[in-house]
Structure formats: structure tokens, C-alpha cells
Amino acid sequence: METELLIVGTELLLGQTVDTNTALMGRVLAENGIDLRQKTTVGDNRDRICRALTDALARADAVLVSGALGPTEDDLTRECVAAVMGRSLVFQQALLDRIAARFAAFRRSMTDNNRKQAYVPDGAVVLENRNGTAPGFIVDDPGRGLVACMPGVPLELEAMLVAQVVPYLRTRFALTGAIHSRVLKVCDMGESAVDAAIGDLVRSQQNPTVGLLASPEAVCIRITAKGDTDGKAQALIDGLEPTIRARLPGLVMGADADTLETVVMALLEARGWTLATAETVTAGALAQRLAGAGRGSFAGGIILPPRNIGADDLPGQADTLAKRARDQYGADCALAFLAAPDAQNGAGCLLTPQGLTTWQDAIPAIPYAEPPGLSVQRNRSRLCVKILERVRRCLAPSSPTA
């Protein structure tokens, strides 16, 4: 079967709200072997919603609609679905009673316009909303198609999608297959270089398939497989992953939810080591990332303004600063990265019980076309990735020397 998404909300078109529901729905559908064909976003306009829904039904077996199920005048989804599916809206007292009970539980008064949420298209399957007031519904018409409507609030949508909509679709279309994906991450290496190493796999693979996606933190290698069960799909991925890792020896930082900071902290934890940091140009970003990794290996950090750093012998100053951080926090290891004001290069130092590593790195320049605040933040993030990836390669035995 094929599905389409219809996302309703003018605030999404204006950029006032970020659409996280599409990513969530795409992921959940894929995990359940349901193909997603297309997504359409439309504002709170009756004619445009009806036209978009009609077009989607002409292409897909099922259309999943998110948003505009609230009590206000611009919440038009239920009216539009009823019109397109040729159904009247029917009031259900049981729905109004549930809505009233939810208001009472929070000791809030229910206004008259909430009555609107107790109307659903005639013959619809009602979807219970345990996290909000707006019930969802499914209209399954043999002639016109299937439409599943869910609230736009992410918490409400996710619970309804996973517990009610997907099971309905799997039963309705007798779905047994699964689609599983795994994302391998390569840091501080360009997308073109990764493609040069595994591009033939991207072109030739059919199941699993391989795709590349560049992001600010990493080049993501997505391996996606279809199987009769989730276990069989994962087994196909397990068969291909070693080939990709062999093409990029020691360069795959991690997979899926792994981040540089969690991987670095895990490598330290495996050795029983703690780490202290000292930094200037990154303004505490290194310490913040490592402290936020949720591991006990981070001992503390020193943050100094660049004006305290001289332009001469940056590696020597990094060495001195690393030792200061190690001694101040009683850590086993220390990481220092510093640069003088307006310097184009910085110097780093990693001090571990096994020895000392120093290096120099270019400081990312700020593009004049971007707002300075945004550029500074982005460049600090890029520099943190370079630094932490270098540390990871130093700590991971199978990684190449940075």
C-alpha cells in the first residue's frame, strides 16, 4: 500500500511552527513496512484543504492528516474530510462527555466552541485522544479511499498514530512486512569523499538500499532494508554494514542516536578515565557537549577568553592549559583547544595516561552574508565536531591518526 501525508496549518507555511510531525510519521510508517509516497502542507483554507485531500486520495491508498482538529473557527479538517468523502458531520454525546471530563480533571471551564470537537463524519471510526481534547477519526470508504485524521500536537499525534492508526492500517491492508533503517555517521569528512568510498554501493544496492545525507554534524549513511519481519530486515542490514565500515576503516563514528560526545565519553569510561577540558575560542561549547552526554567521565572545564592567549607557540600554551585543567579537576585526561584573538588557526592538546597529542586546526571563517551571531554559533559547532572527532580517533584503536 501507499500513503500520503496532508499536514494542515498556516503557521507551518509561515515558519512560525517547525513541522516535526512529518519526520515522526515517516519513521513510524517505515518501521511498519508502509510506503510513504508524498507529503503536502496546506494552510487553514477550506478550498485548499479539500483540493489537497482530493488529489492525495487519487494517488494513495490512505491519506494521513495532521492538524486543524481543534475547537476554533480555523480548525477545518473535520468539515473538509466530511465534504470530500460525501459524509455529514454527526454529533456524538460520548465524545463531548470525554472532552468535558478532561477539562474537569484539570479544573478548567469548557467553552461552548469545544462542542465542535464532538462532531465526526458519519460512519467514522473514532480515535481516542488520551493526551488532549481533540479526538481523531478514520473514514474508510470503499469508493473514495481511507483518511485518518489526527491532532497536530506532536504528543497527541504520536500516541494516536502508534496505538491506533498503524494497527488499523496493518489489519485493513493485511500488512506483514517491515522496513528498517540504520544510519552510520562519519564526522570531519566531506560527503564527496564518503561517496568516493561507497558510491558503487549507493548505485547498485536494491535491498538494502544505501543513501547519503550531509548534515552539520556528520555525513549520514542510511542503510534501509525491507523484510517479512523486522528481524529479517535488520539481518539484511547486518550483512551489508561490515562492507561499508571496511570501505571507511575507523571513520564511522557511530550509528543512529550516537553523538560524538556520547561516543567519546563511552571510550573514556571503558578505560576508567576521566576528562577535563580547557578552551577559549569555543567558549565553553566543548564542556557543554561533554557534560550533557550523561556520563560520569567528565570532570570539569576551564573557559578562558581568547584575549588571555598570546599569538606565539599555541601548541605549547595548549599543553600548559591541558595540564592545568587536569590538575585542577584531578582528571586522568585533559583536552585543551585555544586560539589568540583574530587568529586563523588554533591549537589543541589531548593529554592521556598513554601520552600527549598536539595539533593545529584552522578556525572557520565567518561568511559575511550571514548574521554574525548565527555564524559564530555555527562555526563553534563545526570546530567542536573537528576537535571531538580528533579525540575519538585518538581513543579508538581502529581509527586512523587524525
Our count of domains for the chain comes to 3
Supply the CATH number for residue 209's domain. 3.30.70.2860
Whether 50 has a pLDDT exceeding 80, the answer reads: yes
**Cα angle: 109, vertex 113, 114; to 5 degrees:** 65
pLDDT attached to residue 366:
44
Statement to judge: residues 156 and 239 lie in one domain: no
The answer, yes or no, to whether residue 7 has pLDDT greater than 80, is yes
DSSP 110: P
Q: Considering 207, 225, 255, which residue would you say is the last residue of a domain? A: 255
167 and 50 housed in the same domain: yes
Instruction: Please give the pLDDT value at position 368.
Output: 38
pLDDT at 11: 95
**What's at 254, amino acid-wise?**
G
What range defines the domain where residue 149 resides?
2-172
The helix/strand count (H/E) of the chain reads as: 13, 17
Long-range pairs, 292-295, Cβ under 8 A, ≥24? 292/261, 293/259, 293/261, 293/262, 293/264, 293/265, 294/262, 294/265, 295/262, 295/265, 295/266, 295/268, 295/269
Q: Assess whether 119 and 46 both reside in one domain.
A: yes
Q: What is the dihedral of CA 207, 213, 218, 220, to 10 degrees?
A: -10
- Contact (CB, 8 A) for 120 and 135: yes
**Angle 230-247/191-204 helices, nearest 10 degrees?**
130
User: Which pLDDT band, with edges at 50, 70 and 90, does 399 fall under?
Assistant: low
Q: Does an H or E element contain 192, and which? A: helix 191-204
The lowest-confidence range among 172-176, 234-238, 340-344, 348-352 is 340-344
Mean pLDDT of all residues in the chain?
91
329 falls in which pLDDT band (50, 70, 90)?
A: very high
Is residue 401 in a domain? no
pLDDT of residue 400: 65
Distance CA 223, CA 236 (A): 9
38 pLDDT exceeds 70? yes
Dist. CA 133–CA 128, nearest whole Å? 9
Please give the DSSP secondary-structure letter assigned to residue 14.
Answer: T
What CATH number did the domain enclosing 53 receive? 3.40.980.10
**3-state SS assignment for residue 195:** helix
In angstroms, the CA 309 to CA 178 distance is 56
Res. 402: pLDDT tops 80: no
Q: Which of 172, 199, 216 is the last residue of a domain?
A: 172
Return the amino acid letter for 294. G
* 159 shares a domain with 50: yes
Cross-strand bridge partners of residue 188: none
233 and 338 co-located in one domain: no
- Which DSSP string corresponds to 286-299? HHHHHHTT--TTEE
